[in-house]
Amino acid sequence: MTSELVVGAGCFWCSEAAYGLIRGVVSIIPGYAGGTTPNPSYEQVCTGATGHAEVVRLEYDPGQVPIEDLLDVFLMIHDPTSLNRQGNDVGTQYRSILLYSNEEDRPRIEAYLAKAQQNYRRPIVTEVKKLEVFYPAEEYHRNYFKLHPKEAYCQVVIAPKIKKVIRQVSVGP
C-alpha cells in the first residue's frame, strides 16, 4: 500500500529531481496545487494569479520511507523560512507548501516542522493543508533535470541540490 504527499519547495524541477533519488518513492508527478484556478497552465501559474504553487505529487511506500524522511529532503532542498521565494524564483507559485491526503499525516507534519524550527533563526513559513485537487503539469516538465542536465538552470540550481541529497540521504532503487 502506498501513501501520497504533495510537496512545494520552489521550482518543481528541483523537487522532482531530488525525490527521484529516494528509495521508496514510487512515482513523482510535477504539477500545480493549493490555488483556485481549475486546470491551470504553466503560463497561468507563473503569473501568480492562480494561487497555485509548483508542486510534486509523491506516491511512496511508507514501509520503505517514512514521511519524516521525505520531510528531511523537503528541508534539504529549499529554505522553508523564505516566503514566496526560493533563490531567484519569486512569487507565490514558489512558496513552501505541504499538502496531505491522509488526515493522519497532518499532526506528523506539524510536529516535524515544530521540531525543525529549532534549527532556524527565522520562522518556518511552510503552509500545511489538506490537498483539495492536484493538476499534473504539462508533459515537458516531467523528468526535466534528466532530460536537460546541461541547461544553465539545471547546472546552477538543481545539480547542487542533487549533490546535497546524495551526500546526506540513503538513495537508490
The number of distinct structural domains making up the chain is 1
The answer to whether residue 10 is domain-embedded is yes
For residues 12 and 89, is the Cβ–Cβ distance under 8 A? no
Contacts of 170 (CB under 8 A, 6+ apart): 23
53-60, strands of its sheet edge to edge: 127-130, 96-100, 3-9, 53-60, 25-33, 134-136
Which range marks the domain in which residue 121 is found? 3-168
Half-sphere CA count of 161, side-chain side, radius 13 A: 31
The answer to whether residue 152 is domain-embedded is yes
The span from the CA of 170 to the CA of 10, in Å, is 23
Report the predicted TM-score, pTM, of the whole model to 2 decimal places. Answer: 0.94
Contacts of 96 (CB under 8 A, 6+ apart): 8, 9, 10, 78, 79, 80, 82, 86, 124, 125, 126, 127
Q: What is the CATH number of the domain that holds 76?
A: 3.30.1060.10
For residues 55 and 7, is the Cβ–Cβ distance under 8 A? yes
Task: Reply yes or no on whether 154 is catalytic.
Answer: no
Element (H, E) at 16: helix 12-19
The answer to whether residue 147 is domain-embedded is yes
The answer to whether residue 44 is domain-embedded is yes
Q: pLDDT tens digits for 84-125?
A: 999 889 999 999 999 999 999 999 999 999 999 999 999 999
The answer to whether residue 18 is domain-embedded is yes
C-alpha cell at 157: 540550481
Query: If you write DSSP's letter for every residue of 53-82 in order, what string do you get?
Result: EEEEEEEE-TTTS-HHHHHHHHHHHS-TTS
The answer to whether residue 173 is domain-embedded is no
**Closest to 145 (Cα-Cα) out of 132, 133, 157, 154:** 154
The span from the CA of 131 to the CA of 148, in Å, is 30
- The active-site residue, picked from 11, 14, 46, 154, is 11
Question: pLDDT tens string for the chain (173 positions)?
Answer: 999 999 999 999 999 999 999 999 999 999 999 999 999 999 999 999 999 999 999 999 999 999 999 999 999 999 999 999 998 899 999 999 999 999 999 999 999 999 999 999 999 999 999 999 999 999 999 999 999 999 999 999 999 999 999 988 766 55
The answer to whether residue 46 is domain-embedded is yes
